[in-house]
Chains A and B, each alone.
Chain A
Amino acid sequence: MAVPELTPEEKEEVMGKRKWIAVATGIAVALAMAAGGALAADDVIKIGACQPITGRFAFAGVSINAGLQDYINFANENGLVKGKKLVYIYEDTGYDTDKAVATFKKIMAKDNPVIMYGESTGQGKAIGPELNSRYKVLYGSTSFSSELADPKIHPYSFVSGPTYSDQFGILLEYIAKNPKGKGKPKVAFFYSDTEFGKDPIPYARNRAKELGIDVVSEIVTKVGAVDVTTEALALKKAQPDYCIFQGYVLARPMPASDLLPWLEKNCE
C-alpha cells in the first residue's frame, strides 16, 4: 500500500527497523479495512486460488497467477459484474499436494470464496471427496485431466478447455486427415514423466489404433531434464511424420512459422 514496489537491491533496506514499524502500522490498517470490508460483504464476490508461486511449477504458476489477477482487475475496472466487486485471494502452495490441500482449507475457512482455483490434478483429486460433500464451491484448476472433467466423480470441478486426452484426439484426427506421403501416418509421442505428461497416453494409443495411425516411438523425458539430446536422437532415429509433445509448458499457442523465431528469442 504505502510502500512502493522495490527493486531487489532495495529489499535489504526494507529490513530496517523503521520500515518494519511502517509495515506493522500497515497491518493494523489492513486489519481495520478487512473489518470494514466485512460489513460490505454483499457487494463483493470472492475468488480464491492456490497457486504454485514456488516449487518446480513456479514458472507457470507465477504467470497464471498474474493472468488471473489481471483479468479480475480488468473485470472490476470495466464493471463486468454489475454492482459487485471481484476480490482475488491467492496463496502459494509450493506445488506440493499436501500444502495445496492445506492452502485450500485455509482459504475456505478464512474467506469462504464462491470460486476456488487449484494448482494441479493431484490437488483436484485430493480435494474431490470433500468438495462434493462439504465445500460445494465452483472449482477450476490448472489441470486438464479427464478425471477432473468427469461430472459423475467431480460434479463441482470444471476443466476450462479440452482435456489432455481431447487435445491428443484433436491432433491425431488432424494427422489422420492430413497424411504426409503414402501409407499409414507415422507419429511419435514425446512426453514428460509427469502426471500431466502421461495422463492422455493410454487414450492416445487407442485412438491412434482406431484412426489407423502408426505410433512409431514413445519417448519419455525425466522431470526437470536439462539435456534431452539422447531423447531427441531417438526421436530422429524413429523418423516420424509427426511428433506430439505432451507435458511441457512452453508458451502460448502459435503458428509453426512463429515457433522458431520465438525459440531463438527465448531459449539459448
Chain B
Amino acid sequence: MRIGDFKETYAADEAIFRTPAVRAWMVALGSAMLVFPFLAGDYLLYLANLIGVMIIGALGLNILTGFTGQISLGHAVFVGVGSYTAALGATRLGLPFYLCIPLGGAAACVAGGVIGVPSLRVKGLYLAIATLSAQVILEWVFSNWDSVTGGIRGINVPPATLTGVSLNTDFRVYFLIYAVTAAFTYFARNLFRTRVGRAFIAIRDRDISAELMGINLFRYKILSFMVSSFYAGVAGAVWVYFAKVITPEYFPLSLSIQFLAIVIVGGLGSIHGTILGAIFMTLVPELLKAGTEAVKPFFPNAMSYLFPLRDILFGALIVGFLIFEPHGLAEMWQRVKRYFALWPFRS
C-alpha cells in the first residue's frame, strides 16, 4: 500500500509516468499493442483501427470540450476537412502520406480557427448552435462542390506507401494509425502541463477569473479550437488511408454527436477517459451484436425485433453510465485503481 507521494528531484516531479508500476504497465501495454496485430484476425484489426482513428478525433474534442469548456457540434466536419485535404493532396498532388496527414491537420486547423471566432461572444448552448452551423455548411460543401470533393461520389485514394511497401492491408495500416495515435496521446497528455494547457483549464473553470488573471480569452479560445481541429483533421487524414475512399456520408452530424458521446462517456477532461470512451463506443455495439448473433438461430423470424433491441440496450447503457458515473469511465477506472492501491482498507 502506498502511504505518500514524495518527490525528491525535479525530474521525478515532471515525469509523465510517475511510479515504476505505471512504467511497467505502460511497457506491458505497448508490447501487447505491438503483438496484437500478429494474433488478431481481419475483423478485430479493423475494429482496432477504427478505435485508433476515433481516439485521435475524440482527443481533439476533449481538448476543446473537456479541457476548455467550449462545446462543439461540428467536430465531424473538421475530420472531413482533414480527410478531403489529405485525399486531394494524395490524388491531385501525389504527396506521400507523411505530408498529407499534417496537411490535413493544418487545413482543419485553419477551418477550426475561423469557426472558433464566435466562441468569444457566445457560450454554452449558443456556441453549440454556432458550431452546428459549421457542420451543416461544410457538409453541404462536401456534397456539392463537385469539382473538388467529387460530390456525392467522393474521392478514391490509393493506399499509403512507405519505402516501397504499400500499406494496403489492415495489418499494415494498424502500425500507421497507432503510431499517430500514440504520438498525439502523448502530446495531449503533455499539453495540460504547459502554460497553454493550464490557460485552457482556467478558461473552462471560470472564464472571467481567467481573464482577470491575464489570460487572453480570444487568443486561447481560438487556439483551443485550432488544436482541437488539428486533431480532428489528422484523424480524418489517417482515416483516408484506412478507408481508401471518402464520401460526404462519412461526416454526418451523428458522427459529431458520437464524438461528444465518447468524450462524455469516457470522462470530460481526461485523456485516458477519451481512450476508454472510444473503445466503449466502438466495441459495445459490436459485442451486443455478437449477442444477438448468438441467439439468431433460435429466433430466426424475430430478427427485425431483436436487432433494434440492441440499439435500445446501448442507449440504456449510456444513460446508466451518466446516472451512476457522471464523471465517466475515467472515474470508474480511478475507483478500481484506488481500491487496489488502498486494499485492504476501504477507499
Residues of chain A touching chain B, judged by Cβ–Cβ distance below 8 Å, are: 1-3, 5-6, 8, 11, 23, 26-27, 30, 53-54, 58, 62, 65, 91-92, 94, 97-99, 101-102, 105-106, 108-110, 122, 125-126, 128-130, 133-134, 147, 153, 195, 198-199, 202
* Docked-complex contact A129 and B308, CB < 8 angstroms: no
* Docked-complex contact B297 and A53, CB < 8 angstroms: no
Please provide the chain B residues from 286 to 309 with a CB less than 8 Å away from any CB of chain A in the complex: 286, 289, 292-295, 297-305, 307-308
Task: Decide yes or no whether B151 CB sits under 8 A from chain A.
Answer: yes
User: What 4 A-B pairs come out closest when comparing CB atoms?
Assistant: A106-B43, A105-B42, A53-B307, A125-B245
Q: How far is the CA of A199 from the CA of B153 in the complex (A)?
A: 7
Number of A-B contacts (CB under 8 A): 91
Please provide the chain B residues from 237 to 289 with a CB less than 8 Å away from any CB of chain A in the complex: 243-245, 247, 249-250, 285-286, 289
Count, chain B residues at interface, CB 8 A: 43
* Docked-complex contact B297 and A129, CB < 8 angstroms: no
* Docked-complex contact A91 and B301, CB < 8 angstroms: no
Nearest-neighbour CB distance to chain A for B120, whole angstroms, equals: 33
Q: Which of A30, A58, A92, A198 contacts B297 (CB 8 A)?
A: A30
Q: How far is the CA of A3 from the CA of B47 in the complex (A)?
A: 33
- With A1-B297, A106-B43 in contact, is A53–B305 under 8 Å at CB? no
Chain B CB within 10 A, most for which of A110, A126, A147, A199: A126
Q: Which of B43, B151, B305, B308 contacts A198 (CB 8 A)?
A: B151
Q: Which of A23, A62, A94, A202 contacts B298 (CB 8 A)?
A: A23
Task: Decide yes or no whether B46 CB sits under 8 A from chain A.
Answer: yes
Q: How far is the CA of A129 from the CA of B242 in the complex (A)?
A: 11
Q: List 12 A-B pairs, Cβ < 8 Å.
A: A8-B305, A26-B298, A53-B304, A58-B308, A92-B292, A92-B307, A94-B311, A102-B50, A105-B42, A128-B245, A129-B168, A129-B244
Nearest-neighbour CB distance to chain A for B51, whole angstroms, equals: 11
Task: Decide yes or no whether B154 CB sits under 8 A from chain A.
Answer: yes
